Amino acid sequence: MKKVYLVYISLSGNTESFVKRLTTFLQFQSDLQVEQVHVKDLVKQDIPFYELDGPFVAFLPTYLEGGNGVDNGDVEILTNPLGDFIAYGGNVDKCLGIIGSGNRNFNNQYCLTAKQYAERFGFPVLANFELRGLQNDIERVGKKIMELV
């Protein structure tokens, strides 16, 4: 059975809700084995980062310090541990891509950090969704993952 990891960080629960609903979707619609890794929990429980033994998709909500995303406002806050986990050991080579989330009220900064990770690590932005995401977002992202793995 093929396995995919969903690696995420969630501060206020939106991304966590999306990843849980996406996991249920994938379990019903595919024969993938889905494993979730919440990087915030690793940090909170003092669990050292480790190398994954298979492919993963990363989920990154956007938390930027103020600004407008054009000439300022591109300093990442709170979500940096996800980048550290991706950079750990050979993990980056197993990353199929990143899914950004955010709030459209942030205009140019909407999902900006996911784009910055894609540039920094050299993997694609696979999709974006707003806040907790709607059912059609779950289906869109789920189908994309099924195609990739």
Cβ proximity to ligand FMN: between 38 and 94 the closer is: 38
Cβ proximity to ligand FMN: between 43 and 146 the closer is: 43
- Write the CB contacts of 68 (distance below 8 Å, at least 6 apart in sequence): 107, 108, 109
CB of 62 to ligand FMN, least distance (A): 4
CB of 43 to ligand FMN, least distance (A): 14
CB of 93 to ligand FMN, least distance (A): 26
Cβ proximity to ligand FMN: between 3 and 115 the closer is: 115
Residue ranges that bind ligand FMN, judged by CB under 6 A: 10-16, 61-64, 101-103, 106, 109-111, 131
Cβ proximity to ligand FMN: between 17 and 33 the closer is: 17
DSSP collapsed to 3 states, the chain: CCEEEEEECCCCCHHHHHHHHHHHHHHHHCCCEEEEEEHHHHHHCCCCCCCCCCCEEEEEECCECCCCCCCCCCCECCCHHHHHHHHCCCHHHHEEEEEEEECHHHHHHCCHHHHHHHHHHCCCEEEEEECCCCHHHHHHHHHHHHHHC
CB of 141 to ligand FMN, least distance (A): 14
